[in-house]
Amino acid sequence: MTRKSLIVGSGLGLLALVTGCSRSAAGAAAPSPSASAGPHAWSYDGAEGPEHWGTLSSDFGSCSSGTAQSPIDVGGRSGLSPAPLAVDYSASEGEIIDNGHTTELRALTAQGITVGGKEYAFKQMHFHAPSEHTLGGVRHEAEFHFVHQADDGGLAVVGILARVGATNAPWAPFTDGVPAAADGQKVPAGVVDFPALFPASLDHFAYDGSLTTPPCSEGVRWLLLETPIELGAGQLATLRAAHAGNSRPVQPLNGRDVVAVDQ
Number of domains the chain contains? 1
Residue 118 is predicted with a pLDDT of: 82
Cα 125 off chain centre by: 6
Residue 107 is predicted with a pLDDT of: 98
* Parent domain of 187: 3-261
Cα 143 off chain centre by: 8
Evaluate the CA torsion angle 103, 184, 147, 222 in order and state its sign. positive
From the CB of residue 47, how many other CB atoms can be counted at a distance below 10 Å?
Answer: 10
CB contact set of 23 (below 8 Å; sequence gap of 6+): 29, 30
Q: Tell me the C-alpha distance between 208 and 83, whole Å.
A: 15
How do beta strands 155-165 and 218-225 pair? Answer: parallel
**Amino acid letter, residue 4:** K
Average pLDDT, consecutive stretches of 10 residues, N- to C-terminus, the chain (263 residues):
35 29 36 49 96 97 98 72 72 97 97 84 98 95 97 94 98 97 93 93 85 97 91 98 97 90 64
CA atoms lying within 13 Å on the CB side of residue 92 = 23
Cα 138 off chain centre by: 18
Catalytic positions are 101
Element containing residue 122 per DSSP (H, E)? strand 118-128
Residue 225 is predicted with a pLDDT of: 85
For residue 186, give the CATH number of its domain. 3.10.200.10
- Give me the phi and psi of 52, to 5 degrees please: -110, -5
Residue 28 is predicted with a pLDDT of: 37
